[in-house]
Structure 1
Amino acid sequence: MTHAVHMLAFEDDPHVIALRWALERMGVPVVHSTGLAQWRGREIGVEIGPGHARLPDMGDAPISVWNRRPQAPKPKPGLPQDEAFLAGEWRTFYENLVATAPQLLPSFWVNAPAAAWNAENKLLQLVAAREIGLTFPDTVMGNDAGAVRRLAQNGRVVFKAFRPHAWQEEGGVAATTTILDNDHLPDTRVIEFCPGIYQRYVEKTSDIRVTVAGNRLLAVRLHRRSREAYVDWRIHVLDKDFFAEQITLPAALEQRIQALMASLGLVFGCLDFVVDADGAYQFLEINQAGQFLFLEDMIPDIGVMRMMASFLAAGARDYSVVEDASLTMAEFRASEAYAAMADRLHIDEPSIV
């Protein structure tokens, strides 16, 4: 099974189910594990010595490993007095696997576990972006109320949480992206209570989503047909006013995006930009395990599913996209694989976000 693709994610991840369907139509075997410590559902033991380092009895190395959204191991049941020790041992063992997985399993990793782990660091992203010349809004991270107030002196700021979250409130969902101004900042004690990300607000005309898979990228402009741009487009994708179109980025920006990917050690990622009133692209963040199939629901001929399936099947940064026109979200939604998934997950609407 040397040409298999191995996927690491929770069992019912819709992106994994969709890409498995696409790869199997291409004749590429797919293996699934929930995480590094549950490789093919087996117990795991790393054997290492002066002349060897391996995961025994794990079969041939796959052509690629899609480190999609792996699950950390859960400690096995034990005595109450042992719970803290067991949790610590499992956590440390998992960290050991994350640091060494590409050496133990020499496949093409999308993305390598250590790089994926580091790329979740929002501050590290901005430091890397600054070094390669990407423009981004002035930012304060932390809980220093004085620094936040200085940032807000010259205009509005956007508050974001470090991790995606939404609260269900009366009348709908409340997102964590909020616009604040100098006259309406939270009380000092509120700012100091919890660290957050505060960025100078950009008077934007649209949002840009860039999906990078190896040497290829797809860029989409996201905006509403009328009025100003959304504060947070993610909670408006089902709005009637929402509009998406594929675009071509300036060559210099594409080069900087690839430089950022290389700096972070990533081969796949979903990047968010905004376009300001002067037409300049402002970088916001990169999600190394971002969602991308929703783009094909919005723009049916964009081919993001074919691109990603071709990338995983090739096991290399440089690859060609297969010409099979049936590898689409529309065909997947008409498949038995989608019907089974929709039944398990109680999906009523024919879409994946």
Structure 2
Amino acid sequence: MTHAVHVLSWEDDPHAAALRWALERMGVPVVHSPGLAQWRGDEVAVEIGLGHAGLSSATDAPISVWNRRPKARKPKPSLPEDQAFIAGEWRTFYDNLVEAAAQLLPSFWINTPAAAWRTENKLVQLVAAREIGLAFPETAMGNDAAAVRRLAQGGRVVFKTFRAHAWQEEGGLSTTTTILDNDHLPDAQVIEFCPGIYQRYVEKTSDIRVTVAGNRMLAVRMRRRSKEAYVDWRIHVLDEDFFAEQITLPAALEQRIQALMASLGLVFGCLDFVVDADGEYQFLEVNQAGQFLFLEDMIPDIGVMRMMASFLAAGSRDYSVVEDATLNMAEFRSTETYAALAHRLRLDEPATA
């Protein structure tokens, strides 16, 4: 199949389903696979020689490959004594595919598996931001209580986990973003028990989510209607007091964002910033497979679905956004496809991670 978009993600991924609907409305065929090791089927091989290299089942290179949220291959049932060996072989084979995928399949990758894997490293992100000159809160990563206490001497700190997580507690969700001060830090034994991310707390006025797709980006400011900022806006998007607006970023910041993306080898990402009391944008992180369609629940005419569908269909950093205003989440939610998906997944809240 020529001029197709190939999506790598789990079967009922809402973002993959929404973009497949949009692309097919645009007349662009879509192929969906769970991951690299299930490329168009249960069997996959890399065929390589002096004159050729590629995936055996990839007869026609897609115009673009959206490396959305792929899943590693699960081994088939086997004898108990063979399970560890077979699982290790699949894991190692998958790692091989991740490193070489962009060379084996010369399509436009969003993002290449190797860059995506590397960018999941929070420390790599901050090192790149530092080299580019993006401001970010002073940070200590790890389980050294002395380092955390030194950081806290300058004011309050924010504790975050390396991986997103929330605990269900009485009265609602408890997130992993916690504000600490020097007088109420956990005991050293608690800090040393598990590594974490500790950052100097920024007295912020708002949060900024920037969605970058190639050479285009959309930025949204989020805060309370009372103009106060949330500690963690992600768990408040359904609050009556939640307020969001599309903004234009300073040109110098846009240039640094694109420089960061290039440094990390990314063509797509969702970046989080906070704005401090002096109006400076402080970088927090980039999620290379972040959620973005929830922005249309906040700002219906923002056009993020149209932007992403156009990007996938173009297979290039430079592209024009289609003018079809019906390519939006409201229209998608009126379809039988969405109704069936929502029933299977019991969708009732926007995904924001």
Give the TM-score, by structure 2 length.
Answer: 0.98
Secondary structure at the residue paired with 2:149? helix
Partner of 1:61: 61
What is the alpha-carbon distance in structure 1 between the residues aligned to residue 68 and residue 111 of structure 2?
8
Query: Does the 8 A contact of 1:14 with 1:352 survive in 2?
Result: no
Q: CA deviation at 1:244?
A: 0.4
Q: Distance in 1 between matches of 2:13 and 2:187?
A: 40
- 2:75 touches 2:90 (CA, 8 Å); kept in 1? yes
In the alignment, what sits opposite 2:186?
A: 186
Letter in 2 for 1:51: G
Change (3 A) 1:166 1:352: closer
**Aligned with 2:92: secondary structure?**
helix
Amino acid at match of 1:337: T
Name which of structure 1's ranges 318-327 and 73-82 shifts more when overlaid on structure 2: 73-82
* CA shift for structure 1 position 243: 0.5
Q: Paired residue for 1:79?
A: 79
Q: Match for residue 313 of structure 1?
A: 313
Partner of 1:174: 174
- Corresponding residue for residue 44 of structure 2: 44
Give unmatched runs, 5+ long, in structure 1: none
Amino acid at match of 1:286: V
Contact 2:102 2:109 in 1 (8 A): yes
| SS of the residue 2:40 aligns to | helix
TM-superposed deviation, 1:59: 2.7
- CA distance in structure 2 between the partners assigned to 1:95 and 1:347 by the alignment: 33
Counterparts of 1:40 and 1:101 in 2: how far apart (Å)? Answer: 15
Alpha-carbon distance in structure 2 between the residues aligned to 1:15 and 1:279: 33
Aligned to 2:219: 219
Aligned residues between the structures: 352
- Contact 1:159-1:179 within 8 A present in 2 as well: yes
Q: Give the C-alpha shift of residue 352 in structure 1.
A: 5.5
CA-to-aligned-CA distance 1:74-115 (integer Å, 9 cap, x gap): 122112122221121111000000000111111000000000
Q: What is residue 94 of structure 2 aligned with on the other side?
A: 94
State the superposition RMSD in angstroms: 1.0
The 4+ residue runs of structure 1 with deviation greater than 6 A are none
Distance in 1 (CA, whole Å) between partners of 2:339 and 2:145 is 50
1:41 aligned counterpart, secondary structure? coil
Q: CA deviation at 1:317?
A: 0.2
- What is the aligned partner in structure 2 of residue 160 from structure 1? 160
CA distance in 1, matches of 2:55, 2:337: 31
Query: With structure 1 as the length reference, what TM-score do the two structures score?
Result: 0.98
Secondary structure of 1:325's match?
A: coil
2:18 paired with 1:2: no
Aligned to 1:124: 124
Query: In the alignment, what sits opposite 1:258?
Result: 258
